[in-house]
Amino acid sequence: SQQGEEDPQALSIQEGENATMNCSYKTSINNLQWYRQNSGRGLVHLILIRSNEREKHSGRLRVTLDTSKKSSSLLITASRAADTASYFCAPTPNQGGKLIFGQGTELSVKP
Partner 1 sequence: KAGVTQTPRYLIKTRGQQVTLSCSPISGHRSVSWYQQTPGQGLQFLFEYFSETQRNKGNFPGRFSGRQFSNSRSEMNVSTLELGDSALYLCASSLELQPNYGYTFGSGTRLTVV
Residue ranges binding partner 1 (CB under 8 A): 1, 30-31, 33, 35, 40-45, 48, 50, 88, 92, 96-104
For the bound state, the minimum distance from the C-beta of residue 16 to partner 1, rounded and expressed in Å, comes to 28
Cβ-proximal residues to 2 (8 Å cutoff; 6+ apart), any chain? 25, 26, 27, 29, 91, 92, 93, 97, 100
Distances (CA, A) of 3 to 24, 88, 103, 110: 8, 11, 10, 30
Complex with partner 1: residue 31 or 77, whichever CB lies closer: 31
For the bound state, the minimum distance from the C-beta of residue 72 to partner 1, rounded and expressed in Å, comes to 14
Complex with partner 1: residue 48 or 75, whichever CB lies closer: 48
